[in-house]
Amino acid sequence: MHDLRSEIDQTLTVAGTMANVSPGQALQLAGQAEMLADSIEYHAGLARALYAQAAAHSALNDMPKAAEVVRQALHLAYEHGLWPLWFDTLDLAAGIAYDLEDYEAAIDAWLSSMERGYEHDAMLAVLRGYVGLSKVFFMYGDVPTKRALLEKARALLPAVGDGEVAFGLYINLAADACHRSDYAQALEELAAAEAMLPELGYCQYEHELYYYRGHVLRRQGQLAAAMRQLERGLALNASRSNLWGTTVNLIELGETCLDLGQLHAAQYYLNSVGDAPSLYLRMQVHGALARVNAALGRTDREFGHWQQHFALAEQLASFGAQPQVDEVRRKALAERMRSVEKRLQP
């Protein structure tokens, strides 16, 4: 007798692996699995199929569609008590909301991850909550709290063990060290992440390891070594849908080539960016292109890029014209976090 559930599970395992590498193919496989699971009322398979589709839509940067599908997956996983899948889906939903700049929804999801994580003794969910909320505090300009949350997440590593989430935490810790220009600490965190790779197999965050190492090496004046790391990061991104990762890698490659005096190569990398996924990154591209054209003696192009750079800077400044709003939200979030920790931690 044909085991349809086994076929559905195996199809979804493949779809999950392909979600970041070939999201179109992942959507096709997950869609097939969804129809089969629905036909036999296999709720776990149906919830997993919706989760895989949401992840693939997210990889394609179709965040509104990803948000719609992930809500369905979250409801189904909760309704049928599929807690490990519910935690995974909750974290995905939070990340999608964060990318949509719906910070209130992201906060609710990550706080819920912490709260339910304590209730179900799921420390991985708690760790994800700390890491996610650290991003929100960073957006609110509270860097010390962001750092404290990452360290709380680090303290949970013995209870969680090695895995992709732990790898991602080390990358976040390295990024925090880079923001503080503590490059020795950043390299230590990256080395800890790299040591995990042999046991992980495919890791969707691996490209960030090489990007941040290239970022550090460039600032330490090791430009040739930086290029090798950045080229490796770009090659990994070429096999997956990651607009943000590709963009920052191309910008760093362009600026490294500019430092090396390889002006035409710098120009090619920066012109390859296309439509950067944020105002800040678009501003960076135009600033770098302005410097490249200045070095090439093309003052007309230099002027045009500086114009666009400063226009984008004004747009960014206008978004931050009401810092008191972020401060109110930051304080409210801090109070909600204290409440959750006080009630649930032993």
- Read off the pLDDT of residues 187-226 as tens digits, 9 standing for 90 and up: 999 999 999 999 987 788 899 999 999 999 999 999 999 9
Q: Tokens for 97?
A: 């909301």
- Read off the pLDDT of residues 59-69 as tens digits, 9 standing for 90 and up: 888 899 999 99
Q: Are 45 and 33 in contact (CB under 8 A)?
A: yes
Reply yes or no on whether the pLDDT at 117 is more than 60.
Answer: yes
Q: What percent of the chain has pLDDT over 70?
A: 95
Q: Are 101 and 127 in contact (CB under 8 A)?
A: no
Q: How many helices (H) and strands (E) does the chain have?
A: 19, 0
Euclidean distance between CA atoms 303 and 291, whole angstroms: 10
Euclidean distance between CA atoms 189 and 124, whole angstroms: 19
Q: Which residue has the higher pLDDT, 52 or 275?
A: 52
Euclidean distance between CA atoms 27 and 57, whole angstroms: 8
Q: Tokens for 53?
A: 């589709």
Reply yes or no on whether the pLDDT at 322 is more than 70.
Answer: no
* Arithmetic mean of pLDDT, 285-297: 96
Q: Is the pTM of this model over 0.85?
A: yes
Q: Which residue has the higher pLDDT, 245 or 320?
A: 245
